[in-house]
Chains A and B, each alone.
Chain A
Amino acid sequence: MFVSSTPWLGVIVLALAPVSAHAALPADPLGSPMWQRLGTTLFGSDPVRFDDRVRVDFPEIAEDQSSFPVTVDARGIKGVKRILLFADLNPIPLAIDYAPQGARAFLGTRIKLDQRTPVRGAVQLEDGSWLVSGGWVDAAGGGCSAPPASRVKGDWAEHLGQVRGIAVRERDGTHIRLAFRHPMDTGFVTNIPTYNLDTVALSGAGSKSYGTMRIEASVAEDPTISVIADTAAGEAIVLRGSDTNGIRYDGSLAVHDAAPALAAVG
């Protein structure tokens, strides 16, 4: 009985929270040493609450600390206008700042991990308040400060500007996945300054926006982006992107219906 009363408490807090102007940050359930400082930087004086409906999913193991998959799924929450993905103890904590439009509250990518760290998603509602969730990830060190593979190999410039993409219409919306070739230099490798894919915007027929995002160098080399948009069948999606040297990453892709043959293989 005691347990079942907690959701009601949540509703009361939810109803009251937007009223307070300079809300103090709530205590961090993950006990992160950076929470207060980072929370102030990212959320300013906006009200913040922890909410498990913001689903932050990642694998059991950080197999590769330079490329760790994460999804932030807040589709169970109405009125999400912005999604942040960040890792408290990364030297560049923020990975992506995404403003979904005509799209579901969902974001997937691969990030770097410089050490064991909380990995979190935060979503902002129409009233300006933030809902936050996440978990600790154990990782070997150096994901942000080791040279990218394409720098070691020396072929990064040959592939710069290449973008691959797929858009498949499923029952819950059109799953759009983009894969860029980019070294995503963090600036922590000797004599290689910060250089990263910076902005990505998607739009559809009649310039209808499907959202924009700002991307930091803490996103993994050769970044991938997954979003779910409410497109029409057969609609052409336009990608407009740029990096911190002003190089453009423009392209277009057609929305396909889910191929039954492929689905059957799985």
Chain B
Amino acid sequence: MINRRIALAGLLGAIALPVRAQPLAYRITPEKIAEGLWVVRGVDAPIAMANGGAIANITILATEAGTVLVDCGPSLRYGNALRHAAEALTGKPVVRLYLTHLHPDHIYAAAAFAPGIVAATPQLATLLKSEGAGFSDGMYRLLGDWMRGTEFTLPGTILAADHETFGTRRLRLLPLAGHSPADLAILDEASGTLIAGDLVFHDRAPSTPHADLAKWHTALKTLAALGHKCVVPGHGPIDPTPTAAIDQTRDWLDWVTATLRAAVAAGEDNVAAGNVAIPARFATLQSARYELQRSVSHFYPGLEAELMPRIDAKR
């Protein structure tokens, strides 16, 4: 069945392209979460032509000193639209753009902003020097004209302190790791909102292409203890509670870990592992099957080396 769907999707894609007459345009619709804090919700789906890659949540903060953004979207076109929408909303120019981690759906729009206001932790800045440009081919392949003119640019500001203050708004910076080798979470102290980047997913299955599950676990523990009021996850709806989305993220990652370990130990192949029944408690998670199968690809080889005994004569 899967085979057919893929073939069909390919055909539809080929037919749909030539009839698209309108120039591609992103719709930026900020939702107010707290005083002076809005979120532009990403589509809770994989990166695809249909959504222009706008799948990550973007946060807009109004301060006396100017507008602050956390992440900026997948493409130059998105970044320009976001800047216009954010500045119209707050009436002040964007003075800071935080990058939470290396994945292109969150940061490839940075080219639409002056490099000096684009900020990353030292760990992320180092990682972006080697890995940042590498996502370009894949993004252009998946998104075509949505990506026009997008070139990866490095952040111009390296974050050394554990906070930054804009006017009276103090933002606590939490350099962590786990979803990727360098994740930044931000606590808006004024509203008690935790802007978690992709360390937290909500009703959307977590993705694991650069994940270290043990470190991710530790990071989630740190986040759960911050005393915040609500959470802006990297993907999925806002969590109005402090820990529901954090707990759900941990629950999924623990289940994936246990399931894949058991599958490798039982001699199951990758395809079977990607097709196991997903427990009913994860029914609200979008893209669950898709992310499980991606996680099989990410973790299976490592688990084979760990859990399958040597059987060769040299052992």
Residue ranges of A at the interface with B (Cβ–Cβ < 8 Å) = 30, 56-61, 63-64, 67, 69-71, 108-110, 116, 134-138, 140, 161-168, 175-179, 222, 224, 226, 239, 248-253, 258-259, 262-263, 265-266
Contact = CB atoms under 8 A, between A and B. Distances in A.
B7 A135 contact: yes
Contact of B272 (A30, A64, A71, A167): A71
B240 to A, nearest CB: 32
B262 A163 contact: no
Contacts of A135: 2-4, 6-7
Nearest to A177: B267
A243 B309 CA distance: 21
Interface string B251-292: 000000011011111111111101110000000000001100
B297 A64 contact: yes
Contacts of B263: 266
A56 to B, nearest CB: 6
B312 interface: yes
Interface in B44-70: 46
B10 A116 contact: yes
B62 to A, nearest CB: 38
Contacts of A70: 271
A111 to B, nearest CB: 11
Contact of A175 (B268, B271, B304): B268
B: contact size bracket? 35 or more
Nearest to B305: A164
19 contacts: A57-B271, A57-B275, A59-B293, A67-B301, A69-B270, A69-B274, A71-B271, A109-B269, A136-B6, A140-B138, A162-B314, A163-B310, A164-B310, A179-B308, A253-B309, A253-B311, A265-B262, A266-B262, A266-B263
B105 to A, nearest CB: 15
Given A60-B293, A251-B312, A137 B267 contact: no
A263 B310 CA distance: 22
B173 interface: no
B294 interface: yes
Contacts of B2: 57-60, 135
B298 A175 contact: no
B84 interface: no
Q: Is the interface of B mostly helix, strand, loop or mixed?
A: helix
Contacts of A168: 266-267
Contacts of B209: 63
Contacts of A164: 304-305, 308-311
Contacts of A167: 267
Q: Is the interface of A mostly helix, strand, loop or mixed?
A: strand
Contacts of B293: 59-61, 63
A265 B296 contact: no
Contact of B271 (A58, A63, A249, A266): A58
B65 to A, nearest CB: 42
A110 to B, nearest CB: 7
Given A135-B4, A262-B266, A224 B304 contact: yes
A265 B269 contact: no
Given A136-B7, A167-B267, 12 more contacts: A30-B7, A60-B2, A61-B290, A140-B137, A164-B305, A165-B308, A175-B266, A179-B308, A224-B269, A226-B267, A252-B311, A263-B262
B24 interface: no
B258 A266 contact: yes
A64 B270 CA distance: 13
Nearest to A68: B297
B34 to A, nearest CB: 36
A74 B267 CA distance: 19
Contacts of A138: 6, 9-10
Contact of A226 (B7, B259, B269, B298): B269
Given A57-B271, A69-B296, A135-B2, A258 B7 contact: no
B221 interface: no
A59 B271 CA distance: 7
Question: Ordered nearest first, which 10 A-B pairs have the shortest CB separation?
Answer: A135-B3, A69-B270, A108-B269, A164-B308, A59-B293, A226-B269, A251-B311, A63-B297, A165-B311, A163-B312
Contacts of B141: 140
A109 to B, nearest CB: 8
Contacts of A179: 304-305, 308
